[in-house]
């Protein structure tokens, strides 16, 4: 009985330490990547503002060619929603809605993840003039919050690397696609 009591105290202490670390850990993160595409800014923006085009460059969309999709509204306009459902865990189930467009400059999207984890995030794609004529810098950002105690995952997961690599791969795919 004494050993069982010690084991229980150790388990409670470990849980308490984890919760204490989570309490003082960051609860938000923003990941941004950018790439230069050798195409005029208007051409690049006119491509990325259509969410359906992400199926051709986003690493998440490319992971499951059999993903079930439902679209609501007019693509390339505020309010357009793309919902997806995949049996592949890395793709999961969720919705993406265009929340704001500044024509030729930026598109903002709200993301609602349903599976494998419930969550909300914001994504932004910004286009800027490159250093050379007919060159465009595309910046893709992802911002999210994780409430206590789930934010403990931010201590153990390197979101900058994991998500950053996916964003950069998607941008590389976009560059290859548009420069053909």
pLDDT, tens digit (0-9, with 9 covering 90-100), for 77-132:
999 999 999 999 889 999 999 999 999 999 999 999 999 888 889 999 999 999 89
What are the sequence ranges of the domains in the chain?
A: 27-178
Pairing between β-strand 68-72 and β-strand 81-85 as defined by DSSP bridges: antiparallel
Put residue 100 in one of left, alpha, beta given phi > 0 → left and psi -120 to 50 → alpha. beta
Rounded CA-CA distance 131/73 in Å is: 36
Characterize 90-109 residue by residue with b for buried, 16 or more Cβ atoms within 10 angstroms of its Cβ, and e for exposed. ebbbbbbbbbebeeeebbbb
The residues facing 94 across adjacent strands are 84, 113
Beta-strand ranges (E) seen in the chain are 28-37, 68-72, 81-85, 93-102, 106-115, 119-129, 136-145
Residue 30 has pLDDT above 80, yes or no: yes
Number of Cβ within 10 Å of residue 39's Cβ equals 17
Rounded CA-CA distance 1/114 in Å is: 44
Give the pLDDT confidence score for residue 4 in this predicted structure: 84
Q: What separation in angstroms does the CA of 72 have from each of 18, 62, 107, 176?
A: 42, 21, 17, 29
Give the pLDDT confidence score for residue 163 in this predicted structure: 80
Residue 28 has pLDDT above 90, yes or no: no
From the list 31, 39, 43, the residue with the least C-alpha distance to 130 is 39
Rounded CA-CA distance 160/34 in Å is: 14
Q: Which CATH superfamily is domain 27-178 in?
A: START domain (3.30.530.20)
For the question of whether the overall pTM of this predicted structure is more than 0.75, the answer is yes
């Amino acid at each position: 009985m004494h050993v069982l009591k010690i084991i229980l105290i150790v388990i409670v202490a470990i849980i308490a330490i984890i919760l204490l670390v989570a309490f003082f850990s960051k609860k938000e993160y923003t990941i941004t990547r950018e790439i230069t595409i050798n195409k005029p800014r208007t051409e690049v923006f006119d491509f990325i503002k259509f969410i359906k085009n992400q199926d051709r460059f986003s690493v998440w969309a490319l992971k499951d060619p059999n993903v079930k999709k439902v679209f609501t509204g007019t693509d390339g306009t505020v309010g357009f929603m793309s919902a997806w459902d995949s049996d592949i865990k890395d793709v999961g189930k969720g919705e993406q809605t265009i929340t704001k467009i500044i024509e030729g400059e930026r598109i903002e999207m709200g993301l609602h993840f349903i599976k494998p984890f419930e969550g909300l995030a914001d994504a932004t794609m910004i286009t800027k003039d490159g250093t050379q004529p007919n060159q465009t810098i595309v910046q893709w950002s992802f911002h999210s919050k994780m409430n206590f105690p789930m934010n403990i995952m931010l201590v153990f997961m390197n979101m900058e690397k994991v998500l950053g690599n996916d964003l950069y791969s998607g941008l590389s795919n976009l560059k290859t696609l548009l420069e053909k």
